[in-house]
Structure 1
């Protein structure tokens, strides 16, 4: 897996050269804990999610990415919003892509599975909202989680 560098509101960020649809799934269990993964490429905690494949709906992408990245099978229960911030650029050193953020974020509940590490996540766990401040979470993910917890959705920004 190539290196990944995120720029967030950084005037030194390179100009975006791609816009790729992606989906995230914010899964909350019966105790109110939120499913997070620690990304191997950045070391930061994040909601499960990723690039949408051709022939796949955004919702199906969110469910697939959740299962692949966390080991948790989930179903969609709602929609948080579309997050598209031109000031959030993700650069991949493997191919020179500079991607502008574009994420459809869904809400979900777990159906089964066990948190499992993999080639994209070196840790997966359920985190109670009261404990989120102790985690290194990228500001874009903090916004998504914060919008959900505050009831500000659907977010269409």
Structure 2
């Protein structure tokens, strides 16, 4: 399923869903951040996705990280709640979602970065190399908040 993201775009379609999602910003011993390159947009992003019924937001973040990157991680902190009615994600199936993401901080326990159906690239990225990557502004905000130590973000 393809998707198009809109941020502060007056031409964005009107949202028809609001679904809680969780991201996990995983930092390894070298201070590198785990990122995946999304197959549907080609942009680098934190692992994350929609929360399933029966799981907590934190469990969702851990599950999505392992599914999308091959890395099993544990939660070590909370970065913030990112909810922006001007950040719209339109899917090819007709769903038009308003952003709502709980973003956690974690550390790796096991696994190797592995590509999959959702990510055609998975790797550890040193913060100095982030500007070399195509990263959506919403992800840049979350990573930037972490690097600046300005969390928890509740906006």
TM-score (normalizing by structure 2): 0.99
Paired residue secondary structure (1:142) = helix
1:99 aligned partner: 97
User: How far, CA to CA, are the matches of 1:71 and 1:64 in structure 2?
Assistant: 10
Residue from 141, 144, 147 that aligns with 1:143: 141
User: How far, CA to CA, are the matches of 1:54 and 1:18 in structure 2?
Assistant: 16
Matching of residues 42-81 of structure 1 within 5 Å? 42-81=41-80
Q: CA deviation at 1:3?
A: 1.3
Deviations 1:83-137 (A, max 9, x none): 000000000112x111000000000000010000000000000000000000000
Task: Specify every segment of 5 or more residues in structure 2 that has no aligned partner in the other structure, as ranges.
Answer: none
Task: Specify every segment of 5 or more residues in structure 1 that has no aligned partner in the other structure, as ranges.
Answer: none
Residue from 124, 127, 133 that aligns with 1:126: 124
Count of aligned pairs between the two proteins: 155
User: How far, CA to CA, are the matches of 1:122 and 1:102 in structure 2?
Assistant: 24
1:18 aligned partner: 17
User: How far, CA to CA, are the matches of 1:120 and 1:14 in structure 2?
Assistant: 24
Which runs of structure 1 show a deviation greater than 6 angstroms over 4 or more consecutive aligned residues? none
TM-score (normalizing by structure 1): 0.98
1:88 aligned partner: 87
What is the RMSD of the two structures over their aligned residues, measured on CA atoms?
Answer: 0.4
